[in-house]
Amino acid sequence: MKNNVGIAGLGVYLPSKTMSAKEISLATKGVWSEEAVIEKLGVIEKRIPDATDGAQQMGVWASTEALKDANMSAEEIDCVLCITEEWKEYPLTTSANYIIKEIGATNAWGIDIQNRCCTCVTAVKIAKDMLLSDNNMNTILIAGGYRNCDLVDYENKELSMMFDLGAGGGAMLLKKNLGKNLVLGSHIISDGSLARSVGVEVGGTANLVNSNNLAEHFVLSVMEPEIMKDRLKEVSADNWNKCIDKAFEESNLQKKIDYLSILHFKRSAHNAFLKSNGLNEDQSIYLENYGHIGQIDQILSLYLAREQDKLKAGDNIVMLAAGIGYTWAANVIKWG
């Protein structure tokens, strides 16, 4: 059990406000029916923010819950890897340092990292590698918030893959030589051909905000819809399976998934992926009552699985993510 990294605590913050499938349907002006939103997009309802639910602040609230869960003080944290999305209260402020201030992590330094919806899984790999390579580091907090649902134009038909976007915060405390809930192998694949397939077209230096495009400022758009659709169909499932296989190889374990902590995406694809990996519905949680909360999904899924007694000692948990850009990532956790 020497030189290991384990998950010491989990924390989640969810806004109280919700948006139902019917409300999503109405926002599309009826292009998507309520039934289609539920059955195809896979959303019964999703969490959405109010004015106080800033992305940075939700990361703080989730961090506080993770500290309580781990029975740890903030002074024990050596580093904060912040996974808060770029859409936040004040652009160009450092979200990690805001968390440090608000929770009182006076001995920690912090950094913001971004890999879109892969950020949490990526951060777990980074945190493990940092803890095992630095003799002076023992505890890392991974935390952040997400509310990209603000950027969704429900009348843009090409953006329907993002109609499920919600809001929330999540946090994980990783500790060296914890001896339980062990973080094992990881694998990440990136495809640069899709780097600008989805994003915000107005608001950066390439397309500055002016009086003519103000309404389009910080609105998500699919910039290369056909290229993205064709490329994802070609490589996405294979890349996920490669990530899982390689993560198990890195873990020195035979591939056996007991619980899949996976992001929210359309219902048929979720079910098909479970089936292709020999999993039943009880071996994952479909986030149909929460929506897709970006890189927070894996923390939320793991948190809910623990609350619902879906995890037992010795289980192999796979955290699986894909992020626009495009990146696929998986890691393996030995629970208990």
Note the Cα 96 to chain centre separation in Å. Answer: 16
Mean per-residue pLDDT over the chain, rounded: 97
Which of 79-83, 164-168, 225-229 comes out lowest in average pLDDT? 225-229
Residues 49-105: tens digit of each pLDDT: 999 999 999 999 999 999 999 999 999 999 999 999 999 999 999 999 999 999 999
Structure confidence by residue, pLDDT tens digits, 30-53: 999 999 999 999 999 999 999 999
Dihedral sign (CA 192, 293, 169, 271) = negative
pLDDT average, residue stretch 284-312: 98
pLDDT tens digits, residue range 100-140?
A: 999 999 999 999 999 999 999 999 999 999 999 999 999 99
- Asked whether residue 149 carries a pLDDT value surpassing 80, the answer given is yes
CA distances, 48 to each of 58, 64, 65, 133 (Å) = 12, 21, 20, 39
Q: Among 16-20, 107-111, 224-228, name the one with the lowest average pLDDT.
A: 224-228
pTM: 0.97
Mean pLDDT, to the nearest integer, of 282-306?
98
The confidence score (pLDDT) of residue 218 equals 87
User: 132 Cβ partners below 8 Å, 6+ apart?
Assistant: 3, 5, 176
Band (1; pLDDT cuts 50, 70, 90):
low
Q: Each residue of 185-217: pLDDT tens digit?
A: 999 999 999 999 999 999 999 999 999 998 888
Peptide bond into 154 cis (omega under 30): no
In this structure, the number of other CB atoms found within 10 A of the CB of residue 37 comes to 25
Q: Residue 215: its pLDDT value, please?
A: 85
Q: What pLDDT sits at residue 148?
A: 98
* DSSP string covering 177-217: T--SSEEEEEEEEE-GGGTTSEEE-BSSTTS---TTTGGGB
